[in-house]
Amino acid sequence: MGVLGRVDRQGVGHLPHRHRVTPGTFYERLATHGQELVADEDFAHCYAPGRGRPSIPPSVMVRALLLATHDKTSDVESARRSRVDLDWRAALGVGDEVAGIGATTFSSFRARLVLHDADRQMFARTVERAVELGVLKGEVTAIIDSSPVIGAGAVADTYTLVRQFTHQLAAVLAAQRPKAQALAARIPAAKPRIDWHDAAARRAHLAELVAVARALLAQAVGVDDPAVVEAAGRLGKVLDDDVEPDPDDGAPRIRQGVAPDRMVSASDPEQRHGRKSGSRRFDGHKAHVVGDEASELVLAVGIGAGNGADATPAAGLVRQTRWHGVRIGELLADMAYSDGDTRVAVEAAGAVLVAKVPPVSNGGRLAKTDFVIDLDAARVTCPAGQTTCDARPTTDAKGRATSRFHFPTAVCAACPLRSRCVKGTRGRTIEISVHERRMAAARAAERDPEVADKLRRRAKVERKIDHLQDVGMAKARYRGRRKTLLQLRLAAVVVNLDRLVALDAFTATSRALAA
């Protein structure tokens, strides 16, 4: 492990090629303002203390990763540009003392950032700088949204997943169980040449795969090596999610239907089948983004499972902005964030969620929202004018205590609206949510023109997501969620640097200081 190298701000390393950079480009912006956002000292904890060969300064490496993100270049191409491209060299802030950056240095520096979570600080610095520059002042209105990120791993079918996970388990199990490799060798390493159009041949192949996989899992029992536990977990999961016994003969068959958390790639087991809308499917992860409405700066980012709920990270991202010195007053969001649990969690994190409440449906019959629910008086009045106070205790889908109001069976039986209201033979019931008051207030607030305007402004975040996708966030460059988060943080720094320059934030501050 090298020791921390530092850019010599007094010497030749101080932006020697800036005069050669193409004006008005990202390279010029990074050359001019990079030192305000990236400092070697921010990464000191990633390096060994004491003597040794100094590393390429981390501020130079971060600039190089930002350039690679902006230009969407491979490590080999990034290495070439770091040697010969004058725009890159100006943006890196290096002189002749740095000949260039080796291709492998990029991957080892990324690994170092991830290991020490130093990319968090790298992104946070742009937000903190915006606070220092006065761009983010007081309580801000922020907007949250998510966006699909296509995974970097190859999507595989069940046969391939079982085969590859079996071989992966055998490889890590071999040290403790000498027969593991021989057992796994009973199934081919590559896709076999069977007649894939023949259902019986596919079935026989699956039976062979499952038999070897289960035998290997049995061998792994009792081995506490973390690598074995992880590999066995993956193999066990794909067998549970993708394979089921045929009810006719008990032989393994591909499961009918798709398990909700099914793995889709052997090379990136964290990828999931995701859905951004009814018609838009993807395999990969979800990028979660909070942006400031006024400045359009990215305030917080996260990467979640491709099949995860949009709303789950909302409160955590609001807290993240607090750590960076930003206070969110209102968080604008779409209907995916509108549930009561998310509203409570966001409030606990210090912000008020403003999101449209989804319409309530009841299979074409009168919906709950057609009833007048008076929680203070503990009564419900239906569209036919009947009132009930018969509230009985029950639990919701998460096991929380709540109540359900019952209309008398005889009253509903005689009601002219019955066919539009009740399905069975009993009287209508109305379940009260644990968030009933909060959701009713949110629904009522939507009639306020000011709130309606905020709900329309929510769409502004899509511009920010477009900008992040312009710098590559539509597709993961690396496997796994953690490295995809690194990619997102780099993209967010590129976007924020562009935005700070567009807002004239650096220049305005310099003028103010000079005045």
Triad 494, 499, 500: Cα angle to 5°: 100
Task: Measure the CA–CA gap between 352 and 334, rounded to whole angstroms.
Answer: 14
Helix (H) / strand (E) element for 381: namely strand 379-381
Question: How far does Cα 491 stand from its chain's mean position?
Answer: 14
In this complex, which beta carbon is closest to ligand SF4, that of residue 216 or of residue 422? 422
Residue 473 DSSP label: I
In this complex, which beta carbon is closest to ligand SF4, that of residue 154 or of residue 417? 417
User: In which region does residue 154 sit, left (phi positive, over 0), alpha (psi from -120 to 50) or beta (all else)?
Assistant: beta
Instruction: State both tokens at 423.
Output: 């399905």
What's the one-letter identity of residue 362?
Answer: N
- Residues binding ligand SF4 (CB under 6 A): 382-384, 386, 407, 411-412, 415, 417-418, 421-422, 427-428
CB of 439 to ligand SF4, least distance (A): 21
The residues near 456 (Cβ < 8 Å, ≥ 6 apart) are none
In this complex, which beta carbon is closest to ligand SF4, that of residue 28 or of residue 390? 390
In this complex, which beta carbon is closest to ligand SF4, that of residue 428 or of residue 479? 428
CB of 382 to ligand SF4, least distance (A): 3
CB of 384 to ligand SF4, least distance (A): 4
CB of 470 to ligand SF4, least distance (A): 53
CB of 374 to ligand SF4, least distance (A): 15
| Per-residue burial over 160-196, b = 16 or more CB atoms within 10 Å of its CB, e = otherwise | bbbbbbbbbbbebbeeebeebeebbeebeeeeeeeee
In this complex, which beta carbon is closest to ligand SF4, that of residue 121 or of residue 429? 429
In this complex, which beta carbon is closest to ligand SF4, that of residue 370 or of residue 396? 370
User: In which region does residue 447 sit, left (phi positive, over 0), alpha (psi from -120 to 50) or beta (all else)?
Assistant: alpha
C-beta separation of 208 from 187 below 8 A: yes
CB of 421 to ligand SF4, least distance (A): 3
CB of 362 to ligand SF4, least distance (A): 11
* Angle between helix 481-502 and helix 461-468 axes, rounded to 10 deg: 110
Task: Measure the CA–CA gap between 81 and 75, rounded to whole angstroms.
Answer: 10
In this complex, which beta carbon is closest to ligand SF4, that of residue 319 or of residue 368? 368
In this complex, which beta carbon is closest to ligand SF4, that of residue 384 or of residue 440? 384
CB of 393 to ligand SF4, least distance (A): 20
